[in-house]
Amino acid sequence: MSDFFQVIADRAAFDQTAATKADLARGAALFAGLNCFEAGQSQTIHTHGGADKFYLVMSGKARMTVGEETRVAEAGTFVWAPAGVPHGVAEALERTVMLVALAPPPAVRSGG
């Protein structure tokens, strides 16, 4: 639509070989992007040392881990992964789209 207004569903893209990432917006203090998974795809547990992050599940369903917690997150679930806390996507149980916000932004294109 424009740089200010974007329809998430129009920006989602999938790859049978691996989860994909797309940038939505990048400012000096805040990055937003999409992580898109086919069923069965995953994101390794990782930690952002100095950055706070959240995921918002837009569609689909995935088993996700933050710290010691693992839950199945469906559309409309907000997942908070503060700086220093390991997090990841154990497995997408369906085709799944997540918005990701990261502050401060990653130094290079990463999608979080």
CB of 68 to its own copies, least distance (A): 9
Q: Is 58 in the site for its own copies (CB under 8 A)?
A: yes
Q: Estimate to the nearest angstrom the gap between the alpha carbon of 4 and the chain centroid.
A: 20
| One character per residue 1-30, x = contact with its own copies (rule: CB under 8 A) | xxxxxxxxx--------------xx-xxxx
Q: Is 82 in the site for its own copies (CB under 8 A)?
A: yes
Q: φ and ψ at 18, to 5 degrees?
A: -170, 155
For 100, the token pair is: 């990701």
Segment contacting its own copies by CB under 8 A, of 13-21, 38-46, 49-57, 88-96: 49-57
CB of 58 to its own copies, least distance (A): 7
Query: CB under 8 Å to 18, separation ≥6 — which residues?
Result: 41
Look at strands 31-37 and 43-46 and give their pairing: unpaired
